[in-house]
Amino acid sequence: MSHEAKPIENEHFRDTISTIDDKSGDRAWVYAKKPNGKIHNIRSIFSIGLMALMFSGPFIKLNGHQMLLLNILDRKFIILGIPFWPQDLPLFALLMITFVVFIIVFTVLFGRMWCGWACPQTVFMEMLFRKIEYLIEGDYRQQMKLDESPISAEKIFKKSIKHIVFFLLSVFIANIFLAYLIGSDEVLKLVTDGPKDHMGQFISLVIFSTVFYAVFSKFREIVCIVICPYGRLQGLMLDKNSIVVAYDYIRGEPRGHIRKNTDQNHLGDCIDCKRCVHVCPTGIDIRNGTQLECVNCTACIDECDDVMKKIDKPTGLVRYASQDEIVNKLKRRVTVRSAAYVVILCLLVTALSYFLITRKDVDATVLRTPGMLFQNQNEGRISNMYNYEVVNKTFTTQKIMVKVVQPEKAELKMVDRELNGMNLNEDALVKGSFFIILPEGEIKSNNTEVTIQILSNGKLMEEIRTNFVGPVFKK
């Protein structure tokens, strides 16, 4: 049955937030009905896989090193086994930009699929904490009843059990989170040695555990609606062609309850049972259109499909669809905007791949020592002092060599330690100074260009051109 789009009569939802009681201004607690259905089952299996990956992530090692480490304090990052140093900041920034653009492209094309399927907040909340809550307190009506009931032994028991389990799980997640930040070996030391020798890490663990416990037991959907910047950017990214969880209002409206012995031919397919509203973990009514609060969890799709089957109507009144598909029956098409995003993403991925492939094992900087001009050495020779910094960006020992290739008669003299032939350990950084000494005859101007080569394991890593300052000698 096809119907013209009709304006929705009650537009009160435009002035209210589902999680705030518009009379008292207090938080309106969302009691979400236990979700069920085909998509929910697929999501559950997918979430189990994701959680297994998240929990085992810090313990998966490549060549003896954690596969993913984001140690912000020590500025040490390992992504898929590739170490990144502070010197790799431009590359790391490019990686982050590429990731953000990927999320934008994905959102433009497929809406908030990330939120519903892969975001750790949704995965933990809906697939772990909420399921435990259903197990202990029952479905949403029983939860409501329990909260409204006076204090009793049963209430104290259920609430205590729930919060103890929530807190223990939060501590466990905090340990995993910390392992991504400081490394799983450090966290294991904290667990085996106790907090006395690792007070800083223990305090971090307490803070993370408390935050996770507060998020999953109290804040819940507030994190998605108010705190998460990605959620708030939806309005900018979505367009009429984006696939989102949507209510087919052309087919569904005007809505109306089923009444026996009444002519209901003027009505759409929505029987206004509100099951899609009761199941929503963010408390919204998907029939009001695409909303910032919708995390695309698909619970309303399953719920409505079940209703449609029961009343013998086709499923898909609520489904993954674009606005264009619902209103104009248009198949998915490539818009200029989505094409432009994809082109930008391809360019970024190409640039990132190029920089990653050509990334050197050893990074070196050589700069003339600030505040120093030149020194007169014996036998008509002039020297300049330089500061160097060499960092081994690999997990293997690198043998370092340094030489001046231009001018040919230049000499190199180390100040503190011998850099030539030095075995630089994995992850190590060495700093120091050396002199470049030139015979007066080689100095043609007061700014002579010198070329320094840094080699690692016999392979040229850097060719650095710098200046040599000296007096000009007239012949």
> Are β-strands 398-406 and 61-62 bridged in parallel, bridged antiparallel, or unpaired?
unpaired
Q: Using the rule CB under 6 A, give the single segment among 90-98, 136-144, 182-190, 270-278 that binds ligand SF4.
A: 270-278
Which residue in 287, 319, 368, 393 binds ligand SF4 (CB under 6 A)?
287
Strand partners, 403: 453
Backbone φ and ψ for 358, nearest 5 degrees, come out as -90, 5
Which residue in 273, 292, 327, 401 binds ligand SF4 (CB under 6 A)?
273
Smallest gap, in angstroms, from Cβ of residue 103 to ligand SF4?
Answer: 18
Which residue in 304, 321, 437, 450 binds ligand SF4 (CB under 6 A)?
304
Distance CA 34, CA 126 (A): 10
Which residue in 69, 78, 246, 284 binds ligand SF4 (CB under 6 A)?
284
Give me 37's structure tokens.
């259905």
Distance CA 418, CA 384 (A): 17
Q: Is 307 in the site for ligand SF4 (CB under 6 A)?
A: yes
Q: Which residue number, 32 or 450, has a Cβ lying nearer to ligand SF4? A: 32
Q: Which residue number, 37 or 183, has a Cβ lying nearer to ligand SF4? A: 37
Q: Is 158 in the site for ligand SF4 (CB under 6 A)?
A: no
Q: Is 382 in the site for ligand SF4 (CB under 6 A)?
A: no
Q: Using the rule CB under 6 A, give the single segment among 66-74, 132-140, 281-289, 404-412 that binds ligand SF4.
A: 281-289
Question: What is the footprint of ligand SF4 within residues 216-245 (CB under 6 A)?
Answer: 245
Q: Is 318 in the site for ligand SF4 (CB under 6 A)?
A: yes
Smallest gap, in angstroms, from Cβ of residue 346 to ligand SF4?
Answer: 30
Smallest gap, in angstroms, from Cβ of residue 348 to ligand SF4?
Answer: 30
Which residue in 270, 402, 404, 461 binds ligand SF4 (CB under 6 A)?
270
Q: Which residue number, 88 or 221, has a Cβ lying nearer to ligand SF4? A: 221
Q: Which residue number, 309 or 431, has a Cβ lying nearer to ligand SF4? A: 309
Give me 71's structure tokens.
């140690």
Smallest gap, in angstroms, from Cβ of residue 347 to ligand SF4?
Answer: 33
Smallest gap, in angstroms, from Cβ of residue 193 to ligand SF4?
Answer: 44
Note the Cα 445 to chain centre separation in Å. Answer: 53
Q: Is 294 in the site for ligand SF4 (CB under 6 A)?
A: yes
Give me 454's structure tokens.
């840094």
Q: Is 253 in the site for ligand SF4 (CB under 6 A)?
A: no
Q: Is 275 in the site for ligand SF4 (CB under 6 A)?
A: yes
Q: Which residue number, 163 or 309, has a Cβ lying nearer to ligand SF4? A: 309
Q: Is 299 in the site for ligand SF4 (CB under 6 A)?
A: yes
Smallest gap, in angstroms, from Cβ of residue 273 to ligand SF4?
Answer: 4
Q: Is 189 in the site for ligand SF4 (CB under 6 A)?
A: no
How far is the first Cα of the chain from the last one, in angstroms, to the nearest whole number?
A: 100
Q: Is 298 in the site for ligand SF4 (CB under 6 A)?
A: yes
Residues that bind ligand SF4 (CB under 6 A): 245, 247, 252, 270-276, 279-282, 284, 286-287, 294-300, 303-304, 307, 317-318
